[in-house]
Amino acid sequence: MQTELSKKLGVEHAVFGFTPFPAVAAAISRAGGFGVLGAVRYTAPDELKRDLDWIEAHVDGKPYGLDVVMPARKVEGVTEAEVEAMIPEGHRQFVRDTLAKYGVPELAEGEASGWRITGWMEQVARNQLDVAFDYPIRLLANALGSPPADVVARAHERNVLVAALAGSARHAVKHKEGGIDIVVAQGYEAGGHTGDIASMVLTPEVVDAVDPLPVLAAGGIGSGQQVAAALALGAQGVWLGSIWLTTTEAELPSPKLIEKLFAAGSGDTVRSRALTGKPARQLRTEWTDAWDSADGPGTLPMPLQGLLVADAVSRIQKYEVEPLLGTPVGQIVGRMTSERSVQAVFDDLTRGFEEAVDRINRIAGRSGQ
């Protein structure tokens, strides 16, 4: 599964794996793909440094990258406390009432939330980059589109390629104009923040719009046959995220959550603003239903919504309150039915890819050539 882009980066397979877990990122790179560590959960630079040190020690010299979340436009002089103060009391009360309805216990006194999204505030992301650029990362990806121009320039000075996610051809063209090296065409089926155009339509549109920039196809991909389809549509690789959540190297906090992922079908996700304030695909739960209900107060814009629900999400996860328990995940969840190692996932991807290529060759009358 090699392409011009994978050869440029020195990886065996054009499979880019996004994950919040260092062990998964390292395993992806060791298996011949390109591991990309999500940095949004690192609010302290020392924590990111610790995990990048670990990856360096366990990646066997293979290349890897980092994914941050930062806006292209900077808001000057706004502190986290000032952002918190913008949250209406009615929304805070709705969170309290919903948690009380399901009997969710409080965190212990003095226990901080383990699920903060201050990583979506620009200065936190810049602090992450101050750490990351001391490591030999080969790729910097931004989940909110093109990062600020000075960040792109800083990456290029270090020979680091920059990737940006796009949900439409129009967004992709803006990324190209902003000096981005790789566009990730993320379709409607994807987990996390995603647009409303399906991958089968989006990928070739973006490929045509940004030619000759390389494009990675994302959204609902979890088999080798789908990798082959993505390359046939003109992509130079695939960007996979959800499929790694149930690998043995992952560190999901809740056994009940893993069971819910195994039991979920492809129709059991929803695009909701409940988690972050932007449409993000996740497991449908009674928590997302409450926020999306006409009786609710409505969600707040990013980053207010994320700050509002941070403690609540931590409590739900810690105490494994099953009706409310969820996670960002794509429609590929229907194929995530058992725990496998990252290497086993790659074995399935390569096997399926070969089968798909052989099938097309037979259809084209090229069998055996």
Q: pLDDT by residue (tens digit) across 216-254?
A: 999 999 999 999 999 999 999 999 999 999 999 998 878
In a domain, 123, yes or no: yes
Please tell me whether residues 82 and 196 are part of one structural domain: no
For 359, the 3-state DSSP assignment is helix
**Which of 71-80, 170-179, 360-369 ranks highest by mean pLDDT?**
170-179
> Does a cis peptide bond (omega within 30 degrees of 0) precede residue 20?
no
User: In this predicted structure, what is the pLDDT of residue 43?
Assistant: 80
In a domain, 353, yes or no: no
Q: What domain count does the chain have?
A: 2
Please tell me whether residues 132 and 84 are part of one structural domain: no
User: In this predicted structure, what is the pLDDT of residue 119?
Assistant: 45
Please tell me whether residues 110 and 123 are part of one structural domain: no
Residue 144 confidence (pLDDT) above 90: no
Look up the domain containing 184 and give its range. 2-70+119-244
**Chain centroid offset of residue 66 CA:** 11
d(CA 183, CA 163): 6
Question: Do 49 and 63 meet the contact criterion of CB atoms below 8 Å apart?
Answer: no
Question: Do 122 and 78 meet the contact criterion of CB atoms below 8 Å apart?
Answer: no
In a domain, 354, yes or no: no
Structure-token pair, residue 64: 């890897």
d(CA 24, CA 41): 15
Please tell me whether residues 164 and 107 are part of one structural domain: no
Structure-token pair, residue 337: 């039915």
Please tell me whether residues 125 and 11 are part of one structural domain: yes
Instruction: Specify the higher pLDDT residue, 229 or 124.
Output: 229
pLDDT in tens, 71-121: 655 555 566 678 788 999 999 999 999 999 999 999 887 776 655 554 456
Structure-token pair, residue 55: 């990856």
Where among 186, 212, 244 does a domain terminate?
244
If you ran DSSP here, which 8-state letter would residue 171 be given? H
Spell out the residues 6+ positions from residue 74 whose beta carbon is closer than 8 angstroms to its own. 122, 148
In a domain, 355, yes or no: no
Please tell me whether residues 296 and 189 are part of one structural domain: no
In a domain, 101, yes or no: yes
pLDDT in tens, 261-286: 999 999 999 999 999 898 999 999 99
Structure-token pair, residue 193: 């923040």
Please tell me whether residues 59 and 184 are part of one structural domain: yes
Please tell me whether residues 53 and 86 are part of one structural domain: no
Q: Residue type at 36?
A: V
Please tell me whether residues 47 and 98 are part of one structural domain: no
In a domain, 190, yes or no: yes
The rounded mean pLDDT for the chain is 92
Q: Residue type at 270?
A: V
Write 255-264 long-range contacts (CB < 8 A, 24+): 255/320, 256/320, 256/322, 256/325, 257/317, 257/320, 257/325, 257/326, 257/327, 258/339, 260/322, 260/325, 260/326, 261/327, 261/329, 261/333, 261/336, 262/336, 262/337, 262/338, 264/329, 264/333, 264/334, 264/336
Please tell me whether residues 58 and 89 are part of one structural domain: no
